[in-house]
Structure 1
Amino acid sequence: MSHTRGRSLPLLPVLPFLLADLSLAAVTAKPEPSADLATTLTICLLGATLVALISRRFRIPYVTGLVLAGLTITNLLPRRLGIDSGLILNLFLPILVFQAAINTDISRLRSSFAPISVLAGPGILLATGVTASVLKFGLNLDWIPALLVGSILAITDTVSVIAVFREIAVPSRLTTIVEGESLFNDGVALVIFGLIVELQAGEQVTAISAVQSFFLVVLGGGLLGLATGYLASGLFRTLADDSLSGILLTVAVAFGTFQLGEALNVSGVVAVVVAGLTVGNLALDRAQSPSSRLTLINFWEYAAFCVNTFIFLFIGVEVDPRSLLQTLPAVLLAIVAYQLARLVTVYPLMALVNRFDRPIPFRWQHVLFLGNIKGSLSMVLALSLPATLGNRSELVNLVFGVVLLSLVVQGLSLPWFVKRLKVATRSTRSQEAEQLQAQLIAGKAVQSELLNLYDAGVLPKAVHEELRARYQLAIAGAEQSLRGLYNRRSTNLRNSAAPAFSSLQRRLLLVEKNALLDSARKGILTEEAIADRLQVIDAELLRAEAD
């Protein structure tokens, strides 16, 4: 096992050089001199490293720092960078989407399915329409360009928002909603974008055919992703815990699923999302050891980090401050347009969700509205605008300027707004409970791995018992302390200072509800017999605090 892990690590450091080399080679008419290429790579990597150090020291969002660094190093590069849109769509996009999907827990998505589906479905359609309407009449654009930019600016970038959440504690359900919306609205926005491109190319698209095509593309992509995800999950069981082969398999799934989806005229992005969710929730949890899973997750995190680093640097490098000043009025209008679209999307739709699902607090809705930051995927779509579009360069510059100001202004101000909103107030006891739970989870995971090693013959019995006893002491101490906290809170599990306990209560209620529904499906109990208890459980779930 250690030999396998050692073989997988050398792949990681070469990834940024590979990405940069491919991107530069895709747009240069002649091979660039090796000295210029080496200088360009060195400056970009040094700039990214310096940004990482500064952002950690001053708590500045990393992606915002990259954009500002790109503006700074523009004049230091031997020549301006450029990225081919085909390269972005076929190489960068599957990496970003698959990495987000493979790290997403489906059970968390199910618990917040209603707000995620509403925001990523009707929400993005509404946002596209509102943004396009404002741009159409404000900038005197034709409907096709306005709708294309509207679909591009309807996408939310989760990288910047989640970076803020890592520094400022927010409820886990709010984080899940933000991640889930971003994960699925990427696919929906790309489908909308593709339909508008078909319309721009002169194809006959009616309202009925557009709706049919939309659902066919989304559903077909989902089925394709499910098939490739299940196939990959089965192959994982044959790898015998080979982390290098696991990495190669996931890379093949990510790129192969995307290309197959495009070849079948279904959504490649939706297919990659579903495949990543399937692999992450079936194969990684059941087919591989914790060490192999960690290696694979680290690989994808590093790959997405390299892609995001390159794209955000590219934003700063490619934006000309002088042209930005010239287009500033149009950029500001576009920002007003997508913020207005977000306003009429979040608050009315969340008010609707609150009628039939666990309520979304008003402060959370403010975070969803203010966290409407644009990022890498908007850049990807802007660069993939059809070459036959009349004012393509102006639209690309418009999106570039919007993304730049969004990352700088919203990215820097969002932490301050989240703190002011006080969406999460955690007591000392709540933090103590979480620390004890972390000790229990880690300790029991280690004991499980020790048992696997002992059963496999790797550890002798004496060593296994000694190490297991060492962790058992820590587990016993954490259990005793945690039991004391539970006893002190047993009279009121729903008070505002006990989010961990109310979260446990909701989890137990969901287990109880699932058991009753399963018994009815199997014919053990009738629906009438469980109806009253289900109503009580639903009422308890609605009254429980949202973590």
Structure 2
Amino acid sequence: MMLPLLPLPPFPLAVESMLEDPSIEAHLRQFCLVLSVSLGVATLSRVFSVLRNIPYTLLLLLVGLGLALVDVRLINLSPQLILFIFLPPLLFEAAWNLNWKSLKQYAVPVVLYAIFGVVICVGSLVWGLQAFAGASLATALLVGASLSATDPVSVVALFRELGVDKKLTTIMEGESLFNDGVAVVAFNLLLGLALGLEQLDAAVTVARFLVFVGVGVSIGGLIGFGLSFLTQRFDIPLVEQSLTLVSAYGTYLVAEELGGSGVIAVVTTGLILGNFGSRIGMNPRTRLVVSEFWEFVSFFINSIVFLLIGDQVEFAGLMANLDKIFIAIVIMLTARAISVYGLGALSNAVTGPNMDLPLAGQTVLWWGGLRGSVSVALALSVPAVLGDRQEVIGIVFGVMLFTLLVQGLTTKPLLEALNLLGDQPLRVEYQQMSAHRVALTRVLKRLDEADDNQEFDSEFVAYQRALVEGQLKDVQEKLAKLERQHPEIQHYAFEQLREELLAIESDTYAEFIRAGQLKQDLAPLLEELPDRGAETA
């Protein structure tokens, strides 16, 4: 007997019933509370000078720990929330801003650290935790896989703020991006072993790893290049901005659904759109709009996730596993040193003296290999059927807190001790004066046009010209003095001019492609010319 279908309520009534759901209002209040606290802390870190030396992400972590200490839980931080909501846009933003030319230049150390560094870290922790901490094989496997993912968000932000060498920044950021993907794949492979569902087979493990990575790269490349050519057909900044957001989440979900690595897929898409698609499919204004949008998204999500990580800490679990946490920290730092210095020496031997990474830079890479949101997400995703789940979470959280609070807060003094602090304040001063010079030159050009067209009284125009010329002369003298006192600034000026010329050439080709006068993107000819300016500097 077929039951009669009940009529659906009218659409307004359905919406009203959803809005009356008390859980929606409760979740909205929780979200607003988290957002208010995180943005308030991020703002205070810039208002008070005493807090400016602390990266705002670490300050948020401290506030979250304070809330956890008094047992105030803002929201339940689940692995799904990190891996499916927070991680894709953070990966996309980092890949979007990572220069492909620089990444390709330092590909050898990045690949060595991202792949073999994970193997060394996992192997060392699995052996060390069993030998010295008496941990079970399941605990050792899952802790090793979770802690193999580096997440130096605060360190990279500090590098950019202080103007640390671009080589060091690129290697650390490139390693972190691909390392996260390799660590997630390793965790998925080792989870079956920890649960006793699979047997260790090196050939099968390598084959599955290659499939994970291959599917991820294929999906990421397909979506990245597809969107790159699609955006050539129109010029609507808001639509192109929305497409990048959809691609970040869509690429991750599609790759995971098809059995690939969502992390690798998102990184691939971000690299393609940031280095290729934004050049051939977006005009400079749209590219700037999209870049500023992703800068906001990264700040917004980092402000939330670091606060919630601190807020999730269970101090009872930390105290119960304090001995194992200490052993894990020692093993992890030792394994990191072996991978960074050992693989660094191998990289230097392969790349030659012009591309080598000095010992001081390797030391910063070793100490700056922090653990963060990905490690937490992997630890929280351990199934409840595993009896050692709480032990895994406690060890991972303890090591993560050590890396963020101890290593993160001492990175700047380490840079100072190794004399690796960049000349960012000098570059900012040079950029500001250069902007003044360009602006005043354009003002003089406008005054000349007004005088030629007799738009205003000639005496008034002459008076204004004299004022502007005086200001321009003062700026030019300051620039000349800066270049005399700091000859290295000339090399920076040549680099900026070269990048500007390359951008003009690439944008011109993109205009021809959008107009249908050119069918394929051309490699910039200026890249093939020798950098004589750098030699002169």
Q: Same fold (TM over 0.5)?
A: yes
Q: Aligned AA for 1:243?
A: P
- Are positions 1:206 and 2:198 aligned together? no
How many equivalent pairs are there? 454
Matched with 1:235 is: 230
Instruction: Classify 1:283/1:69 alpha carbon distance in 2 versus 1 (closer, same or farther; 3 Å).
Output: same
Equivalent pair of 1:43/1:77 in contact (CA under 8 Å): no
Q: Distance in 2 between matches of 1:427 and 1:304?
A: 22
SS at match of 2:350: coil
Matched with 1:162 is: 156
Equivalent pair of 1:156/1:182 in contact (CA under 8 Å): yes
SS at match of 2:386: coil
More divergent stretch after superposition (270-279 vs 314-323): 314-323
- Are positions 1:219 and 2:214 aligned together? yes
Q: Distance in 2 between matches of 1:62 and 1:45?
A: 14
SS at match of 2:38: helix
Q: Distance in 1 between matches of 2:134 and 2:200?
A: 23
Matched with 2:502 is: none
| Residue 335 of structure 1: how far off its partner (Å) | 1.4
Matched with 1:459 is: none
Equivalent pair of 2:82/2:373 in contact (CA under 8 Å): no
| Residue 345 of structure 1: how far off its partner (Å) | 0.7
Equivalent pair of 2:106/2:167 in contact (CA under 8 Å): yes
Matched with 1:339 is: 333
**Cα deviation digits, residues 141-173 of structure 1 (max 9, x gap):** 233431221122122212111122134231111
Q: Aligned AA for 2:122?
A: T
Q: Distance in 1 between matches of 2:426 and 2:157?
A: 25
Equivalent pair of 1:239/1:245 in contact (CA under 8 Å): no
| Residue 318 of structure 1: how far off its partner (Å) | 1.4
SS at match of 2:36: helix
- Are positions 1:194 and 2:184 aligned together? no
Kindly report the root-mean-square deviation, in angstroms, between the aligned alpha carbons of the 2 structures. 3.9
Equivalent pair of 2:483/2:490 in contact (CA under 8 Å): no
Aligned pairs for 1:171-190 within 5 A: 171-190=165-184
Instruction: Classify 1:260/1:37 alpha carbon distance in 2 versus 1 (closer, same or farther; 3 Å).
Output: closer
Equivalent pair of 2:133/2:323 in contact (CA under 8 Å): no
Aligned pairs for 1:86-101 within 5 A: 86-101=80-95
Q: Distance in 1 between matches of 2:328 and 2:135?
A: 12
Matched with 1:138 is: 132
**Cα deviation digits, residues 21-67 of structure 1 (max 9, x gap):** xxxxxxxxx96483x54553444233213321332232211111111
Q: Distance in 2 between matches of 1:75 and 1:224?
A: 43
Q: Aligned AA for 1:229?
A: G
Q: Aligned AA for 2:369?
A: N
More divergent stretch after superposition (296-305 vs 252-261): 296-305
SS at match of 2:104: helix
**Cα deviation digits, residues 116-137 of structure 1 (max 9, x gap):** 1211121221122112221222
**Cα deviation digits, residues 412-432 of structure 1 (max 9, x gap):** 221111112111464998776
- Are positions 1:151 and 2:152 aligned together? no
Q: Distance in 1 between matches of 2:372 and 2:421?
A: 26
Equivalent pair of 1:433/1:500 in contact (CA under 8 Å): no
Equivalent pair of 1:371/1:410 in contact (CA under 8 Å): yes
Matched with 1:330 is: 324
Equivalent pair of 1:191/1:267 in contact (CA under 8 Å): yes
Aligned pairs for 1:434-445 within 5 A: none
More divergent stretch after superposition (102-111 vs 48-57): 48-57
- Are positions 1:52 and 2:42 aligned together? yes
| Residue 436 of structure 1: how far off its partner (Å) | 6.4
For structure 2, the 5+ residue unaligned runs are 1-20, 444-454, 456-464, 499-529
Instruction: Classify 1:93/1:436 alpha carbon distance in 2 versus 1 (closer, same or farther; 3 Å).
Output: same
| Residue 216 of structure 1: how far off its partner (Å) | 2.3
Q: Aligned AA for 2:214?
A: L
Q: Distance in 2 between matches of 1:40 and 1:76?
A: 17
SS at match of 1:156: coil
Matched with 1:395 is: 392
Q: Distance in 2 between matches of 1:388 and 1:500?
A: 62
Equivalent pair of 2:149/2:180 in contact (CA under 8 Å): yes
- Are positions 1:320 and 2:321 aligned together? no
From 363, 371, 374, the equivalent of 1:377 is 374
Equivalent pair of 2:83/2:374 in contact (CA under 8 Å): no
Instruction: Classify 1:420/1:198 alpha carbon distance in 2 versus 1 (closer, same or farther; 3 Å).
Output: same
Q: Distance in 1 between matches of 2:133 and 2:288?
A: 49
Equivalent pair of 1:102/1:280 in contact (CA under 8 Å): yes
Q: Aligned AA for 1:213?
A: R
For structure 1, the 5+ residue unaligned runs are 1-29, 448-461, 463-468, 490-495, 509-536
Equivalent pair of 2:317/2:391 in contact (CA under 8 Å): no
**Cα deviation digits, residues 60-98 of structure 1 (max 9, x gap):** 111111111112234778756213323332222212211
Q: Distance in 2 between matches of 1:244 and 1:502?
A: 34
Q: Aligned AA for 2:87?
A: L
Q: Distance in 1 between matches of 2:78 and 2:211?
A: 29
Equivalent pair of 1:230/1:279 in contact (CA under 8 Å): yes
Equivalent pair of 1:342/1:369 in contact (CA under 8 Å): yes
From 255, 259, 276, the equivalent of 1:282 is 276
**Cα deviation digits, residues 396-423 of structure 1 (max 9, x gap):** 1221222223212222221111112111
Q: Aligned AA for 2:45?
A: S
Instruction: Classify 1:437/1:189 alpha carbon distance in 2 versus 1 (closer, same or farther; 3 Å).
Output: farther
Q: Distance in 1 between matches of 2:136 and 2:96?
A: 39
**Cα deviation digits, residues 291-328 of structure 1 (max 9, x gap):** 32232222222223232222211122111334323322
Q: Distance in 2 between matches of 1:477 and 1:125?
A: 60
Equivalent pair of 1:116/1:180 in contact (CA under 8 Å): yes
- Are positions 1:423 and 2:420 aligned together? yes
Q: Distance in 1 between matches of 2:325 and 2:418?
A: 28
Aligned pairs for 1:109-128 within 5 A: 109-128=103-122
Equivalent pair of 1:39/1:77 in contact (CA under 8 Å): no
Matched with 1:533 is: none
- Are positions 1:304 and 2:304 aligned together? no
- Are positions 1:263 and 2:257 aligned together? yes
Equivalent pair of 1:315/1:404 in contact (CA under 8 Å): no
Matched with 1:532 is: none
| TM-score normalised by structure 1 residue count | 0.73
| Residue 209 of structure 1: how far off its partner (Å) | 1.4
Q: Aligned AA for 2:382?
A: L
Q: Distance in 2 between matches of 1:80 and 1:432?
A: 42
Instruction: Classify 1:500/1:218 alpha carbon distance in 2 versus 1 (closer, same or farther; 3 Å).
Output: farther
Equivalent pair of 2:146/2:375 in contact (CA under 8 Å): yes
Q: Distance in 2 between matches of 1:377 and 1:187?
A: 10
Q: Distance in 2 between matches of 1:482 and 1:223?
A: 52
Percent of residue pairs identical: 35
Q: Distance in 2 between matches of 1:481 and 1:192?
A: 58
Q: Distance in 2 between matches of 1:427 and 1:372?
A: 23
